[in-house]
Amino acid sequence: MSNKETLALDVYGTLINPHAIATRLREFLGDQANAFSQLWRTKQLEYSFRRGLMGDYQDFSVVTRDALEYANGVFSAKLSNDAKALLLADYTRLDVYDDVPAALAALRGQGRALYAFSNGAPGDLQALLSYAGIIDLLDGIISVHDVRSFKPDPKVYAHFNTPTNTRPEETRLVSSNAFDIAGAQACGWQTAWVQREKETRFDSWNPPQGRIIETLSVLTG
């Protein structure tokens, strides 16, 4: 992997574990916490896709809140307004994946350009990455908020290349999300799909054309 490549690092699911929220959910849902977390995340992404297609943008915190309301209804969890507010606040205090800090430090030591690239709103990303202790390892944060759409809209990937002064062919998306990898590939980017769990499958109709890795540490080699 060339040192000239700029790395666009997806945040939720790649640097930060969105299912760390299950720890808090167990206080309210017990053994259903993991299933609730999975549904919440699934609907969060679905709602972002819908809003992107409809041109009905709201920042990611609104999408996350709406998905929480959906999961609350499906599970008949009857979460109070205070409980929902606590869970949404915790979404800016999620755990970093174990492999991330050392890998980012090593990549930065190699002189790599590293940018967080996310559906999240700028303020939420700032808080999240600061809490995780990795914000100082990054050259900057690029949010979809500036173009008011969501991945995998081609406008989002084009936007990344503008403030970073990069070309698509010299940009590599690092993401655990198949839809994100597919979107970047369609825009001429290089990619590295992070397969964090062996049972995770990529879409058969549009397989990854770039690297497939299990941890970010592989990128340092």
Name the active-site residue from 10, 124, 153, 180: 10
| Of the candidates 167, 128, 221, the residue with the CA atom closest to the CA atom of residue 5 | 167
Structural Rg of the chain based on CA atoms: 17
Backbone region of residue 142 per phi and psi (left: phi > 0; alpha: psi in -120 to 50; beta: other values): beta
Helix (H, G, I), strand (E, B) or coil at 191: strand
d(CA 60, CA 123): 11
Q: How many CA atoms lie within 13 A of 87 on its CB side?
A: 30
Alpha-helical runs (H) found in 133-208 = 154-161, 178-186
Task: Give yes or no: 10 in active site.
Answer: yes
Nearest by Cα to 91 from 49, 120, 56, 57: 120
Shortest CA distance to 97 belongs to which of 29, 10, 39, 179?
Answer: 10
Residue whose structure tokens are 């340092």: 220
Residues belonging to the active site: 10
